[in-house]
Amino acid sequence: MSNLSLEIEKGIALLTINRPKALNALNSETLGELNACLAEIEKREDVRVVILTGSGEKSFVAGADISEMVNATPLEGSAMGLLAKEAFSRLEEMPQVTIAAVNGYALGGGCEIAMACDIRIAAENAKFAQPECGLGILPGFGGTQRLARLVGKGRAKELIFTCDMIDAQEAYRIGLANKVVPQAELMDYCKAMAGRILNNAPLGISLAKQAINTGYDTDLNSGLKLEANLFGLSFSTADKKEGMTAFLEKRKEKHFIGK
Ligand code: DAK
C-alpha cells in the first residue's frame, strides 16, 4: 500500500490516507488500495472500530484527484466511480464501527467518504464542501444521497448548488459532524470514543448498525420488522447471556466474546 497506512492496536484500526502532497486527494490507485484494505479489515474479528483520517494537519481528503480526472474518458470515470462505490459501501456496511477523524479539508469525495463512515468527528480546522458543480460535474461518490439523508434535502441542495465551504461548527450545527474538538485532541477523542464502543457487545453493535442502515432506507414498518428480527437474533448470542448476567450479578466487568 503506497497511499495508505494502517496501524492496528487493541481492537482499533487506524487507517490513514497518505498523499499529503495532494492533500490526500483520492486517485484510482488509492481507491483500489482502500477497497482492498477494507476488504481485509472487515474479515478481522480482532478489529472492532476503524478510525479513518488523512495525513498531515491540513487536510482529511481534498476530494477526488482532479489531475487524474481532467483527461479521463467517460469509461475511465465510470470505472473510478464503481471502485469508489465499492470501497465506500464497504465502509458503510462493514461490521466494525467506522469513525472519520476529519483533520482539515473534507471536500467533494473527502466529504463523501466521511459521510460513508458511521460517525464524523471534526477538528476545529475542518472544512466541508461539495465543490463538484463548480468543476462541471456533480457529486458522484454518494454525495447527493448521503448528504441529503444526513442534513436534509434543503441543506444538501444549498451546499451542492452553491459549492459553499462550511467550517466545523457549521457542520456540527447541521448534523454533518457529530462533534468538534481541538485538532491536537482529535485522535485521542476518537480513540476514547472507540474505547467506549469496545466496552459493548460486538454483535449487538453490528446488528444495530445493520438495522439503522437498512431501516433508514425503507419505510418505518419494514424497519421495525427488521429490528424485531435482528433483536431476536441477538438472543442467540453468548454475549446476550453475559451482558444480562453481569447486570443481574451487579458486575461491572463484562466478558464479551463476539459470539
Ligand atoms: N486533486 C488533485 N490535487 C489536489 C486536490 C485534488 N482534489 N486538492 C489539492 N490538490 C493539490 C494541489 O494541486 C496542490 O498541488 P501542487 O500544486 O502543490 O502540486 C496541493 O494539493 C496543495 O494544494 P493548494 O496549493 O491548492 O493548497 P491551498 O491551501 O491553496 O488550497 C484547497 C487548499 C483544498 C482549498 C485547494 O487545494 C482546493 O480547492 N482543492 C480542490 C478541492 C476540490 O475541488 N475537491 C473536489 C474534487 S471533485 C466520480 C465521482 C466523484 C468524484 C469524481 C468522480 N465518478 C463517479 C467518476 C468526486 C469529485 C471530487 O471530489
Per-residue pLDDT of the chain in tens (259 residues, 90 and over written 9): 899 999 999 999 999 999 999 999 999 999 999 999 999 999 999 999 999 999 999 999 999 999 999 999 999 999 999 999 999 999 999 999 999 999 999 999 999 999 999 999 999 999 999 999 999 999 999 999 999 999 999 999 999 999 999 999 999 999 999 999 999 999 999 999 999 999 999 999 999 999 999 999 999 999 999 999 999 999 999 999 999 999 999 998 999 999 9
Angle at 38 between CA 66 and CA 9, to 5 degrees: 115
Q: What are phi and psi of 93, to 5 degrees?
A: -105, -5
Instruction: Write out the CATH class of domain 4-198.
Output: alpha beta
Q: Give CA separation, 84 vs 63, 80, 109, 220, in Å.
A: 12, 6, 9, 29
CB 214 within 8 A of CB 226: yes
CB 151 within 8 A of CB 170: no
Going by CA atoms, what residue is nearest to atom 38 of ligand 1? 62
67 CB within 6 A, ligand 1: yes
Burial of residue 143 (CB within 10 Å: 0-12, 13-18, 19+) is: buried
To test the ligand 1 pocket, which listed residue (19, 23, 144) has its Cβ within 8 A of the most ligand atoms? 23
The CATH number for 202-248, chosen from 1.10.12.10, 3.20.20.70, 1.20.1070.10, 3.40.50.460, is 1.10.12.10
Residue 12 gets which letter from DSSP? E
Active-site entry in 29, 132, 249, 253: 132
Atom of ligand 1 nearest to the CA of 165: 35
* 112 classed as catalytic: yes
Give strand pairing partners of 4: 17
Residue type at 65 in one-letter notation:
D
CB neighbour list of residue 54: distance below 8 Å, 6 or more residues apart: 16, 17, 18, 23, 24, 60, 61, 103, 104, 110
List the domain boundaries for the chain: 4-198, 202-248
Going by CA atoms, what residue is nearest to atom 10 of ligand 1? 22
Residue 105 gets which letter from DSSP? E
Active-site entry in 45, 112, 170, 253: 112
CA-based nearest residue to 149, from 242, 202, 203, 217: 217
CB 142 within 8 A of CB 117: no
* 249 classed as catalytic: no
Q: Can you tell me the distance from the alpha carbon of 159 to that of 163, in angstroms, rounded to the nearest whole number?
A: 5
Going by CA atoms, what residue is nearest to atom 45 of ligand 1? 63
CB neighbour list of residue 229: distance below 8 Å, 6 or more residues apart: none
